[in-house]
């Protein structure tokens, strides 16, 4: 007899939004957007429909019922209009500036210690990958949080495509670099381009996700179109946006914020409510769109799935 063990972060299926309700809402919103009723008026989901994406016909994708939530999804407009994207500036209403990003043509380079190095076009990649939707928590180091329906595929699928060599231990992620489009990249005190890193074990964990869509549509540009990393047990700055290169390496990468201020931002950046940032506590978080406070969970509630990765690590600052 098979015994089903309930995951620590799962909610009953009856509490999830039914798929037909979600899809019907999307059709209504798309119809409004097509008529121009909301665009540019200051009302409704302005950024979500700023431009038609070539991959729009792929979405919405089927939701994976394994990945559910203990809270309501964040309203799409709230999530779409309160963003960090330092390539375009440091304020939170960055979505308008981010519309300057050109997402086609777009390629992702897989290189380094791999048997199958390649430069793959984003639309070809999307056609090769098993796309699905997952509901994930997202916890920013600034102590705000949201709950998001990401669409995309497990990073492990991309790892298999590259076929890493036996001495590959880390993945180094790099975002685009184009100061003519991204005004924030003209700020010379930042070490552009944005870089992040994971161990190979972290990269192949079942939770580690490459997001190409959100809210049943292709990624809006402020979310990191056309492809971004999602690591829901880590603080949000680890989830690098608008990726153009993934390099497999034997040496641990130095990430963007780690290089700027290593005393505040480490390589691991796992969520821990009992380890404060040097400038603010992490024991609670503000839910985006509601301003309600909620207790922060160890590993953002994904301890069961990821704690084993770090079990035997000593002398590492795992939580900031």
pLDDT-derived band at 10 (thresholds 50, 70, 90) equals low
pLDDT digits (tens, 9 = 90+) for 129-153: 999 999 999 999 999 999 999 999 9
Cα distance between residue 69 and residue 72, in whole Å: 7
Nearby residues of 88 by Cβ (< 8 Å), 6 or more positions away: 94, 97, 98, 100, 101, 182, 183, 184
- 208: nearest Cα among 195, 220, 199: 199
Count other Cβ atoms within 10 Å, centred on residue 6: 8
Range from 91-95, 103-107, 116-120 carrying the lowest mean pLDDT: 91-95
Residues 205 and 308: beta-carbon distance below 8 Å: no
φ/ψ region of 224 (left if φ > 0, alpha if ψ in -120 to 50, else beta) reads left
Q: Please state, for a pLDDT cut of 70, what percent of the chain lies above it.
A: 84
Confidence of residue 1 (pLDDT cuts 50, 70, 90): very low
The stretch 33-43 carries a mean pLDDT of: 37
Give mean pLDDT, residues 61-68: 96
Question: For residue 169, what pLDDT is reported?
Answer: 98
pLDDT on residue 51: 57
Mean pLDDT of 252-263: 96
Cis peptide before 60 (omega within 30 of 0): yes
Q: What's the pLDDT tens digit per position in 303-314?
A: 999 999 999 898
Q: Which residues of 220-242 are buried (b: 16+ CB within 10 A; e: fewer)?
A: bbbbbbbbbbbbbbbbbbbbbbb
């Amino acid at each position: 007899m098979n015994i089903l063990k309930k995951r620590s972060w799962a909610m009953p299926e009856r509490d999830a939004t039914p798929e037909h309700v979600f899809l019907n809402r999307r059709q209504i919103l798309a119809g409004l957007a097509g008529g121009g009723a909301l665009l540019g008026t200051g009302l409704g989901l302005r950024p979500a429909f700023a431009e038609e994406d070539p991959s729009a016909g792929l979405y919405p994708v089927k939701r994976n019922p394994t990945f559910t939530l203990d809270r309501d999804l964040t309203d799409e407009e709230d999530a779409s209009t309160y963003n960090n994207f330092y390539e375009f500036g440091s304020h939170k209403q960055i979505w308008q500036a981010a519309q300057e990003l050109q997402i086609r043509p777009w390629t992702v380079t897989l290189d380094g210690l791999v048997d199958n190095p390649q430069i793959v076009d984003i639309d070809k990649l999307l056609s090769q990958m098993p796309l699905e939707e997952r509901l994930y928590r997202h916890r920013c180091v600034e102590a705000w949080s949201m709950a998001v329906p990401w669409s995309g595929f497990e990073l492990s699928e991309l790892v298999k495509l590259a076929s890493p060599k036996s001495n590959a231990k880390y993945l180094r992620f790099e975002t685009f670099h184009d100061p003519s489009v991204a005004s924030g990249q003209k700020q010379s005190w930042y070490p552009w381009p944005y870089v992040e890193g994971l161990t190979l074990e972290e990269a192949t964990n079942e939770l580690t996700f490459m997001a190409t869509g959100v809210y049943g549509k292709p990624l809006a540009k402020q979310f990191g179109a056309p492809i971004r990393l999602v690591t829901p047990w880590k603080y949000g700055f680890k989830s690098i946006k608008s990726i153009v290169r993934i390099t497999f390496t034997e040496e641990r990468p130095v990430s963007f914020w780690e290089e700027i201020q290593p005393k505040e931002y480490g390589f691991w950046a796992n969520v821990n409510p009992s380890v404060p940032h040097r400038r603010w506590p992490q024991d609670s978080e503000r839910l985006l769109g509601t301003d309600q406070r909620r207790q922060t969970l160890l590993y953002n509630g994904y301890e069961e799935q990821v704690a084993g990765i770090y079990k035997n690590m000593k002398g590492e600052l795992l939580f900031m």
